[in-house]
A and B are shown apart, each in its own frame.
Chain A
């Protein structure tokens, strides 16, 4: 039932798309697939989406971007942008489902520490099926890191060696999983937290663990009561 609703909406959206280029279409297709994947890997629906399909689709998205933009820095930006539009959407789904599943989201998050816990422990498990840890809080409690070992996006990925001109540019600067940053940024922005997110460590570059640094810039006033503000 839900699927037919989805596909109807999808068709409508698709019909509106002819004026945009192939790239936007690709993004759209990916977000649909991404949506299907994390719908399936949520708590309530027990069967899992195919992780290989997920990883390969993301891989072709990234390589397509690399081919289009050439400059890895620009690719990082694009990934972040795509991620943001995913994050903006999936925060609602997350709050709805996490609540339904009754997994300890008893009340609102009181501090950034709570938010970090929720994002790392529940968000990652729900959408990606991997566990993540949060830690390394700064003195002023305004930034923290998310650590995770298994990165479902980079299952088959091996970055080409530095001297390899096949892709034209030095892909050492590419942040392959930069989409996570966008997703977290988008999701937290929806709940009035303006954050800066960067991928600090990546297992693809030989680091021990994947680390995402989240830095709180400000709590947006809009829509939030005084009692909701930090500290």
Chain B
């Protein structure tokens, strides 16, 4: 199985606030995954949103684990206190690993939301946040 890049998306109330596609494979990255699979990824994530809302009521913890599986891909979700969804599309990473990644990103997100220039539930344009998330993804998910 070729190493599929993971897709990390932060979803607010009405729209995605942030997205990052992170290539976690350390070797030569395959060019086979093109436009088609990217679109399919978004489709999978979007359809998982309903399942996120459903499973949010089944647990007390913020980490909702894997909420949806499509073929080889899984969607893990983390729900912050303000109902902002962190969603990660991956091909079977360990639950703990993903949890740690989410916790790290959550820290960065909290730091970002303390910034007076960031308005809640608006797209995230901070470069520092982006680099931090990517670094975290590389550290935890590869």
Contact surface of A with B, Cβ cutoff 8 Å: 52, 56, 59-60, 62-63, 155-161, 164, 166-167, 171
**A164 and B128 alpha carbons, distance in the complex (Å):** 14
Which residues of B sit under 8 angstroms from A171, Cβ to Cβ?
117
- Chain A residues with CB under 8 A of B118: 158, 160
Q: A63 and B117: CB pair below 8 A? A: yes
Closest A-B pairs by Cβ, 3 of them: A59-B116, A156-B114, A63-B116
Give the residues in chain A near B126, CB-CB below 8 Å: 158, 160-161
Q: Does B111 make an interface contact (CB < 8 A)? A: yes
Neighbouring B residues of A52 by C-beta, 8 Å: 114
B128:A158 contact, CB within 8 angstroms: yes
23 contacts between A and B (CB under 8 A): A52-B114, A56-B114, A56-B116, A59-B115, A59-B116, A63-B116, A155-B114, A156-B111, A156-B116, A157-B115, A158-B112, A158-B118, A158-B128, A159-B117, A160-B117, A160-B118, A160-B126, A161-B125, A161-B127, A164-B125, A166-B119, A166-B125, A171-B117
Q: In whole angstroms, what is the CA distance A157 to B116 when docked?
A: 6
CB neighbours of B111 from chain A (8 A): 156
How far apart sit A159 and B114, CA to CA, in the bound complex (Å)? 12
Q: How far apart are B18's CB and chain A's nearest CB, in angstroms? A: 14
